Amino acid sequence: MSGPPLDLVGRSGTDPRSASAWGRRQELLTNLRAIRGRAYPRYRGMVREKSWLLFEILLPFLSTAAFVFVYRALKAPEQYVGFVVMGGAMTAFWINVIWMMANQLYWEKSQGNLELYFAAPIHFMSILLGMALGGMVMSTTRAAAVLIIATAIFGVSFDVRDWFLVFAVFLTTLAALYSLGMVLASFFLVWGREAFHLGQFFVEPVYFVSGLNFPVARLGLIGALSVGLIPLATGLDAMRQLVFSGATFPIGTPSPAVELGILVVMAVLATVLARWMLASMQARARRDGRLTVRWQ
């Protein structure tokens, strides 16, 4: 009783189950496509929305400039102007991590995309990685613009002695920041409207404890804790020491090499934690029926 041969749409296999099984290569390629697909609207949006240039580059630069003028009004040493400019540039990444990584899953839930992500044959980390890569491109453009404009206008002079370490610290800071963003994103999976308020809570207070406009070691114990826990604080402090080599920093400031080590540990731990958190928060959100609950 053998019937007509099964049409498996060009796939290899003897039955539908074996034909639908994905190989490692296909799985990898699909996840890579998902990463590219999720990153696409981030960098493409920069070109499509012209108002972005004004609101995301020029106006934040003016906000940074305000802090420069505070130091100028106080007749502070010029090195502090450089500190503010570096801080202003790095805030682009933090803002992106908070609003376009951590908070993003809450928006996706509200828009009805979240269930599509979960239903798609991809690992959810691919979505987060795509958001992170697209966000990095976006934020790097903004940070570079702030840095270049501010340097030109305020005459900031850099004194870099170890370019390799500068790039290593910068890239590791991004890795640690966006890994932290993935951890936060998993929290935001189960949160409702508090997500937005928590996002707000993570901006100015984190700027303060990270030493946005001054060396973080000035904050004593709080500063030390920040360097150990917040990638923005660690990366910013290390970058400042590396690009303003001649500047004086308070006693107790860890060396850039030590801070690079801290950043590496942060990046690794946060990535592992993000994977675990995502799975556990996803399970919890499924159990509580919160994955598709909107606007609460």
Partner 1 sequence: MSAIGEVGVLGERSPSDHRGEGLRSFATAVRLGWQMEANWTDPLLFFIYSVAKPVASALILVVMLQVVGGDASLRYRSFVIIGTALWSVVISGVAGLAWAVLDDRERYRMLKYVYVSPSDFIVVLLGRGVARLGVGAAGAVITLVIGVVALGVPFDPGRVDWPVLLVATGLGLLSIVALGLLMAAVCLQTRQESWSYPDAFAGALYLISGAVFPLAILPGPVQAIGLAMPLTWWIEAFRRALDPANPSSIGGPGSLFQAVTGQVAPGNAEVLIALLATGALVTLAAAGVFRLSSRRAKELGLLDRTTGS
Cα dist from 208 to 92, 173, 213, 235, whole Å: 15, 18, 8, 15
Q: Residue 2: CA atoms inside 13 Å, Cβ hemisphere, count?
A: 2
CA distance 99 to 206: 14
Considering beta carbons, is residue 19 or 118 the nearer one to partner 1?
118
> Cβ 19 to partner 1, closest distance in Å?
34
CA distance 249 to 99: 31
> Cβ 277 to partner 1, closest distance in Å?
22
> Cβ 58 to partner 1, closest distance in Å?
8
Considering beta carbons, is residue 122 or 168 the nearer one to partner 1?
122
Considering beta carbons, is residue 34 or 212 the nearer one to partner 1?
212
As a residue count, the chain comes to 296
> Cβ 204 to partner 1, closest distance in Å?
4
Question: Which residues in this chain contact partner 1 in the complex, by CB under 8 A?
Answer: 41-42, 45, 49, 51-52, 55-56, 58-60, 62-63, 65-67, 69-76, 80, 95, 99-100, 107, 110-111, 113, 192-194, 197-198, 200-201, 203-205, 207-208, 212-215, 218-219, 295-296
CA distance 31 to 34: 5
Considering beta carbons, is residue 83 or 166 the nearer one to partner 1?
83
Torsion of CA 140, 134, 179, 284, to 10 degrees: 150
> Cβ 173 to partner 1, closest distance in Å?
20
Of residues 182, 164, 161, 147, the one with CA closest to residue 269:
182
> Cβ 28 to partner 1, closest distance in Å?
26
**Residue 218 DSSP label:** G
- 220 exposed, middle or buried (CB, 10 Å; 0-12, 13-18, 19+)? exposed
Considering beta carbons, is residue 84 or 125 the nearer one to partner 1?
84
Of residues 280, 227, 281, 272, the one with CA closest to residue 249:
227
Do 168 and 260 contact (CB within 8 A), yes or no? yes
Considering beta carbons, is residue 165 or 187 the nearer one to partner 1?
187
Considering beta carbons, is residue 209 or 274 the nearer one to partner 1?
209
Map tokens 């790095």 to a residue: 90
> Cβ 5 to partner 1, closest distance in Å?
44
User: Which residue type occupies 71?
Assistant: Y
